[in-house]
Amino acid sequence: MPSGNPDVRPAPGLTLPRGGPTPREVFLVLPGLNLHPHRLDPLSALLNEAGAATLVPRLTGFAAPGDPALGRVRAERWLADVDDAWTLARMRLPGAEPALLGYSLGALLGLAWAQQAGVPLRRAILLAPALRLRPALRLLLRGLAALLPGALRLPSRSPPAYRFHAGTSVAAYRALTKLERRLQPTLLAWTRGAGAPPPLLIACSARDELIATRPLARLARAHPERVTLLPLSHEPRAGYLAHLGLDGYTLGEGEWQRLTGTLREWLRATGPGGTGDAGPEATAAREPGPEGAP
């Protein structure tokens, strides 16, 4: 397996593209709730190749495997972690604009941070974004958050090579659901055409077990000129959730090439002088599979 071993400490910080002019765009790279940050390295490298810088904030609870701070984390702390990282990036690259590469929780956290901080994102790549959880999962997490102590860790279903901790704390789930509730007014306004999101590339499986995909389809239909929706159709490996589709191993080589090809086209289209059209492989209107309404 490539880098992403849970025994390896993540290396947060700012990565600049090799050669070329000083980048004018910094992608905040935010992983999922228990995803090892190194698992987004292949996509980060693609962004660096396109001329953007990438920034990996150090989120509370993820200093090292087993970090006890995960049992005390709050949504406000994670938002502050992102804000601190962006402050340092602005000192290094004054005038650079923020963008987002977020997987699952990372997509939610990045959008919630931009909303709270009043910092407009130039554009955003959202992989299996947890902007709205499936109704049954949402109710389960709220019940657990109300009944169980925050420090308690629930076993992770992710394969060891992809997870950062062996389990996820109740406090972390509380933070996730709080961020979800906080973003809902904005998400609802966007889907109703009130206000507009930044240019978005959203990739998710119609078979995703954790997130509600219908709001994403509605968002794409409400803003076809700004939202590119790429439905992923990979067959999950044994022991892997469809939600965990983010690299060549979890997606399969063919679907990975489709994702990265669409991403490269989208980066060109939404860059300076771009047309905004990500190409025929993506669609802004296709409805993902059936699920509960948000």
Is 13-269 assigned to CATH 3.40.50.1820? yes
Residue with tokens 């980048």: 23
**CA–CA separation, 178 vs 183, rounded Å?**
9
Taking only the tens place, the pLDDT of each residue in 189-221 is 999 988 999 999 999 999 999 999 999 999 999
In the chain, which stretches have pLDDT less than 50? 1-4, 6, 9, 279-281, 284-290, 292-294
Query: Do residues 264 and 46 make contact, with C-beta atoms less than 8 angstroms apart?
Result: yes
| Residue 149 pLDDT | 95
Given this model, what pLDDT does residue 12 score? Answer: 58
8 A C-beta contact, residue 205 and residue 233: yes
Beta strands in 32-116 (DSSP E): 53-56, 97-103
